[in-house]
Chains A and B, each alone.
Chain A
């Protein structure tokens, strides 16, 4: 798959947390992706950007928390996480960046 700008827009950032790093043991990586990204798009982008084979993509829409500031209700932005399961033997080093 040829690399294109679209791919860069699909993967926003690695999701580096305790849980995210733990998942690397089962060959999974978490990325933050746009709310509009679909599983096939994410798969395509990861495969193009990191040159790896993706086995499966799971996505979660995380609802932003409602916050009060001086009694006024506000809401944090929603976002989408994508949990990528890599094919056996593939790895992504999330710390090096693109």
Chain B
């Protein structure tokens, strides 16, 4: 863990390093609690009365087969979908009806959702220029964009257009764009799937330092991406069928054990 943080810190400017260190020194924020969160599309129940408790600064993961409601749950937490029932609290405050721009979260979308008409620099700096942002001076914003691009391994890509990047590079820009705002809670929706295994591991290591003061929820298909999570939630048909660490779930949650076994078998073959 110390090595990982050192790697992430080394990629940052002094200002950013101080800010992260300051945050690490104070109590982490971003404790999330959901109660009975439900979402229906006609007769289909996408999310079925989900109760979650995420302590501030925890690393949480959602796992399950396609269509089990992972992305819908993440979008409800982000405020991009309104639940049909239930509540969402952050640090004790009810944010169920708050619009996404007023929530202290940032999401990395599964299909990147980069702004096609803006350069890589403008995509990443966007979150520092909106109404709900701190709007730092230009020089500071430029330095922070540089830090984030260094962190995701895209130094020198500032002037490229999204259409000039590979899928993996676009995904890394999307990650940098979410990281730059340093929110209380990060939502990663299968955000490492387009990366090769080595880049995936390297990026996750580097992210640990930047996201250490925040709560992180990751939706992932690869077990390797979530194996270190403090808690893993296994979803099926919109409901929770397993909750615990990797080792606990291997013992107590047959659907999770099945997913792990099938991935290990696929890797072995």
Q: Do A and B bind each other?
A: no
